[in-house]
Amino acid sequence: MQLYELELNDGRRISPFVWRVKLALAQKGIAADTIGIGFGDKDKIAFSGQGLVPVLRDGERVVSDSWDIACYLEDQYPDMPSIFGGPVGRGLARFVARWTDITMLGNLAVLMMPCVFDHVPERDRAYFRQDREKRFGMTLEQMREDPEGKIAAFRQILLPMRVCLRDQPFLSGDAPAYADFCVFGGFIWAASVSDYKLLSNDDLLYAWRERMMGRFEALISASPGVVFT
Amino acid sequence: MQLYELELNDGRRISPFVWRVKLALAQKGIAADTIGIGFGDKDKIAFSGQGLVPVLRDGERVVSDSWDIACYLEDQYPDMPSIFGGPVGRGLARFVARWTDITMLGNLAVLMMPCVFDHVPERDRAYFRQDREKRFGMTLEQMREDPEGKIAAFRQILLPMRVCLRDQPFLSGDAPAYADFCVFGGFIWAASVSDYKLLSNDDLLYAWRERMMGRFEALISASPGVVFT
């Protein structure tokens, strides 16, 4: 099995969507060779019929899109530990995935783009700057402004998660599952490129993140440059 | 089995938290006598050791708090249709319950308080006005301002749900479960006291609400004053 993922300078693997898949593979105990590609390497995944990572190749089967890959792994390898815990768990995991995309990552994006830029290889920097400045309607330098304000807003929008974690150790209950992977993938993304302190030490989310790290320590420590603050 | 709930003028049963329980009971096919009480009737549920509805009395057992009641029903009546679909479904339902409390109901609250007031019995009006005006830091008349702006903001914050429903009929997947009850309960609350058009007809959430109505039509139509717009 091969997993194609985005790779930046010093071997940093940053895509939060790829991390969902890597955590799902780890939970299921499935080994995959990971193949890092750069922003300009879309031709290397052209066989998938689209241009975005993650792309999973399992023998003759090719699956792209993190959600579709998660469903593929769950359905194809049902005897390995579950990442959804049944149909309702799968349905609600999709809601949390979309909540993560829109609310969590959407809120972090402006703060993180300049940090990602700092780790983009020289050859892709012009492309990255132009693409992201157009998408966000501001310069990378403007995005760097007021990190404290952005972090405060970010902490605020995580309140539903924090309140949930008052009563249970993981979003998915007593053990982590795909919904936890979605949110944790966002934190790994941030920790791969920035040293912003996104969570205060007394935040229930900080303790949750530590529990997630404890569960997936081998995977995290094998990935260059991930430093939680 | 008896369920104590808030009752306003004309028999309106409005608590969004009670509705979570009523929908859970309906899903499980459990009949319960409902007992409506007013804002000033806390003494009638004093036996529960606290002053909030819902309160469920099942023989000798008394359970309060909508989440605790849901867990009680699922654990006590495991052979009836599930409202959680397993441990992961239960864990994630708690997250969606908290998201609903904070993001959905929190966003609707100011818009709805004056509408609730319009249906509060005369004897409780002074209490309700004073309590809510203190809690929100503004008068009921101020809360009534700019409903269009409040509705636009409300529609916006539901985006993660809307995007999720592009790909599946219910938040919980192919069939409704407790997470759907939480959100639907919020819409029933709103429809019981106001005629604001919270969802446009082409909203995926509108179609979802129609599906929920289809599933629980007997329950909804037996409750006075619920009119979806």
Task: Give the CATH number for residue A99.
Answer: 1.20.1050.10
pLDDT per residue over A81-119, tens digit each? 999 999 999 999 999 999 999 999 999 999 999 999 999
- Of A28, A51, A76, which one is at a domain's C-terminal end? A76
- Of A76, A98, A118, which one is at a domain's C-terminal end? A76
Residues B96 and B66 in one domain: no
Is residue B229 situated within a structural domain?
A: no
Number of domains in chain B: 2
Q: Give mean pLDDT, residues B68-76.
A: 98
Which residues in chain B are contacts of A82 at CB distance < 8 A? Answer: 88
B92 touches chain A (CB under 8 A): yes
Residues A69 and A170 in one domain: no
pLDDT per residue over B112-140, tens digit each? 999 999 999 999 999 999 999 999 999 99
Helix or strand run (H / E) with residue B202: none
- The maximal CA–CA distance of chain A, rounded, in angstroms, is 49
- Residue A68 vs residues A20, A47, A177, B158, B216: alpha-carbon distances, Å: 11, 17, 16, 23, 32
What is the pLDDT at residue A159?
Answer: 97
Confidence of residue B107 (pLDDT cuts 50, 70, 90): very high
- Token pair of B179, please? 């997470």
End-to-end Cα distance, chain B = 33
pLDDT per residue over B192-215, tens digit each? 999 999 999 999 999 999 999 999
What is the pLDDT at residue A178?
Answer: 98
* Rounded-to-integer distance, Cα B172 and Cα B84, Å: 9
What is the pLDDT at residue B114?
Answer: 98
* Rounded-to-integer distance, Cα A146 and Cα B117, Å: 42
Which residues in chain B are contacts of A93 at CB distance < 8 A? Answer: 88, 92
B129 touches chain A (CB under 8 A): no
Residues B93 and B31 in one domain: no
Is residue B96 situated within a structural domain?
A: yes
Residues A126 and A197 in one domain: yes
B152 touches chain A (CB under 8 A): no
Residues B125 and B201 in one domain: yes
Residues A34 and A101 in one domain: no
What is the pLDDT at residue A206?
Answer: 98
A204 touches chain B (CB under 8 A): no
Closest partner CB to A167 (pick from B94, B163, B167): B94
Which residues in chain A are contacts of B170 at CB distance < 8 A? Answer: 91
Residues B205 and B122 in one domain: yes
pLDDT per residue over A127-184, tens digit each? 999 999 999 999 999 999 999 999 999 999 999 999 999 999 999 999 999 999 999 9
pLDDT per residue over A50-74, tens digit each? 999 999 999 999 999 999 999 999 9
- Token pair of A112, please? 């993180």
A91 touches chain B (CB under 8 A): yes
Contact A161 B95 (CB under 8 A): yes
SS3 call for A30: coil
Share of residues in chain A with pLDDT > 70 (%)? 100
Average confidence score pLDDT of chain A: 97
Mutate to test the interface with B, among A74, A75, A88, A104 (most CBs of B within 10 A): A88
What is the pLDDT at residue B8?
Answer: 97
SS3 call for B176: coil
- Residue B171 vs residues A22, A94, A186, B180: alpha-carbon distances, Å: 25, 8, 22, 6
Is residue A81 situated within a structural domain?
A: no
Residues B112 and B155 in one domain: yes
Query: Is there a cis peptide before residue B54, judged by omega within 30 degrees of 0?
Result: yes
Is residue A99 situated within a structural domain?
A: yes
Domain containing residue B13: CATH number: 3.40.30.10
Residues B102 and B213 in one domain: yes
Is residue B16 situated within a structural domain?
A: yes
A218 touches chain B (CB under 8 A): no
Which residues in chain B are contacts of A96 at CB distance < 8 A? Answer: 92, 95
Assembly ipTM: 0.95
- Residue A228, C-beta contacts closer than 8 angstroms, at least 6 positions apart: A187, A191, A209, A213
Confidence of residue B39 (pLDDT cuts 50, 70, 90): very high
- Of A35, A50, A76, which one is at a domain's C-terminal end? A76
Confidence of residue A47 (pLDDT cuts 50, 70, 90): very high
Beta bridge partners of B97: none
Is residue B184 situated within a structural domain?
A: yes
Is residue B226 situated within a structural domain?
A: no
Closest partner CB to A86 (pick from B86, B96, B170): B86
Structural domain range at position A91: 87-221
Closest partner CB to B159 (pick from A87, A102, A179): A102
Which residues in chain A are contacts of B70 at CB distance < 8 A? Answer: none
The closest of B112, B154, B105 to A160, measured between CA atoms, is B105
B18 touches chain A (CB under 8 A): no
* Rounded-to-integer distance, Cα B229 and Cα B215, Å: 18
Is residue A103 situated within a structural domain?
A: yes
- Residue B34, C-beta contacts closer than 8 angstroms, at least 6 positions apart: B2, B3, B4, B5, B13, B22
Contact A86 B89 (CB under 8 A): yes
Residues B113 and B52 in one domain: no
Average confidence score pLDDT of chain B: 97
What is the pLDDT at residue B195?
Answer: 94
What is the pLDDT at residue B59?
Answer: 96
Residues B105 and B196 in one domain: yes
Instruction: Give φ, ψ of B3 to 5 degrees.
Output: -120, 120
Residues A59 and A139 in one domain: no
